[in-house]
Amino acid sequence: MVGSTDPRETAPETTPADPADSAHSTPPTPADPTRPARTWSLQREWSRAFIVMLLALILGAIVTIVGVRAVVHQLETTASQIQLESRAAATLAAAVDDHEQLGHQLLSDAPVNRQAFMLQQRDIAKLFDDAAGVLPAENGMQSALRQARQDWEAALAARGLWGGQVLELKGNHVAETPAFAAASKGVRDKLIDIQRSSLEALDRGLVDTGDLEQLLIVGRTGLLAVAIGATLYFRRRMVKDLMRPVNSLRRGVHKLQAGDYSHRIDVARRDELGELATAFNGMAAALQDSHRTLTHRATHDALTGLANRAALTERLAGSFASGSDLRTQHEGLLFIDIDDFKDVNDSFGHEGGDELLIQLAARLRASVRSHDMVARLGGDEFAVVVLNNDDGTPATGPVADRIYETLSEPFLIGDHPLTVSVSIGVAQRSAETADAAELLRQADSAMYAAKHGGKARYEVYSREGNHPKRQVRPSLSKRASDSSS
C-alpha cells in the first residue's frame, strides 16, 4: 500500500456539532444536484413511532382492564366447575359407602332386598358415568376414576355381589367381609383423592377476585405512567444522542462521495453509535489506502515502479492546459529504446530481460533531476520529460549525455555482465507544438531516426529534418557488438 508523508492526509477531521441539526431542522440539500431530494426524515419517523407507542400503551391499558374483568369471570366459572367436580366425587364416595354396608349384610346372610341392592349398583354406575362427564382429563382424574370403578366392580364380583350374582349368593360369607371392606376402602380413598385434587386446584387457581382486579389495575396504571415518562425521556435523548451522530455520519458519507478520503468522524461515544463511527473511520481508512494503491497502479509500471504511459500523457497534457505553470511550457521529451533487446530475451530469457529493465530503470532515475519525470511506455521503451534549465536553455542534451554515461558500465544479469546501448529520440517543445500527442510523435520519430542511423546514439527532432547530435563512442560500440555476439 502506498503511504503519504503529509500528515494532513491521515489526521482525522473532527466534525463539530451542527446547531442546525435540531428536532425541527430542515434536512440539508445533498451536494450532488442530480440526486433526488430526501423525502423522509429519520427524526420524524422516530417521533411518530413514539406517538404510536404511546397510543399502543394507552390501548393496552384499556385492554388490560377489560381483560382483568374477563379473567375474574373465568376464575369464577372455574371455581364453579371445580365445586361441581368435588361434589360429584363426594356423592359417589357416599354412595359407594352405603352400598358397601348392604354388601356386608348380604355376606353375613342377613335379610336384604336383593333387587334394591342391584338397583343401587346401577345408580352408582350411573354416578360413575356422570362423574366421568364432569371430571377433566388432565391431572389424572379421569384415569383415577376409571381405576376406582374397576376396583369397585372387581371387589363386588369377587364376593358374588355383582349384578345377577347377588340372586345366587347362598349361605354365610362373613369371613370375606374384611377383604371386602379393605377393597371398598381403597375405592373410597381414590374418590376422596379425586375430591382433594379438585379442591387443591381450586385453592391454586382461585383467588380473591376483587383484590386481583384492583392489583392489576394499579399495576397497569403504574406501568403506563412509566412508559409515558420513558417515551418523553427517550425522545429527548434521540435528538441529542442519535440524530446528531447520524447527521455527523451522513456528512462523513458525503465527504467520502466527494473524494475526501482523509475525513474521519470524531468518536465521542462508547456505544453502538460509537462502534458505528469507528467502523466508518476504518472503512474510510481502507478506502483511502485502496485509492492510493489503485492510483499508484493506474499511474505506475508494475515491473519497474516508474510512471506509466497514462501518467506521462497526463503530465504532458497538463503542461499544455491553459493556466499551467509557464516554466513547464519549456520542456523536452526523450524517447528511449533499448538496442537489440530481443537478443537479450533470447540469451537470458524473459526473467533476464525483466532484470535488465529493472536495472535500466534505476539508472535512468539516477541520470535525471528531481523535477524530471521518467516513465516506462511498455516493452523496452522509456521516456523522460526534461524541464529546461532556469535560464531557459534546453536540458535534454546534458540529460541524454548522463544517460549514456551510466550505460557505459555493464549490467549484471545473474552472474553474467552485459553491456547494452540505447537509441534516444529528443523532441524539444516549441511554440508551434500543438499538444502532447504531437510532442510524443516528434520524439518517437527522432528515436527511429537514431535507430536507422546506426543505434547507440540520440537525435534531436527538427521540422526541417532530424540532425544527429551525438555519435556513439567507438569503445562503447565495440563492447555492445561483443555482448550481442
Residues taking part in catalysis? 380
The phi, psi pair for 470, rounded to 5°, reads -155, 130
Total residues found in the chain within this entry: 485
Q: How far apart are alpha carbons 196 and 210 in whole angstroms? A: 26
For residue 449, how far is the Cα from the chain centroid? 62
Contact 303, 379 (CB under 8 A): no
For residue 461, how far is the Cα from the chain centroid? 61
Q: How far apart are alpha carbons 311 and 332 in whole angstroms? A: 16
Closest among 333, 338, 354 to 460, alpha carbons compared? 333
Residue 423: strand pairing partners: 337
Amino acid letter for position 43 = Q
Contacts of 50 (CB under 8 A, 6+ apart): 231, 234, 235
Task: Give 169-221 as a DSSP string.
Answer: --S--GGGHHHHHHHHHHHHHHHHHHHHHHHHHHHHH---HHHHHHHHHHHHH
Torsion, Cα of 162, 165, 171, 177 (10° steps): -10
Q: How far apart are alpha carbons 352 and 347 in whole angstroms? A: 8
Number of H helices and E strands in the chain, helices first, is: 13, 8
Alpha helix stretches (DSSP H) within 321-372: 341-367
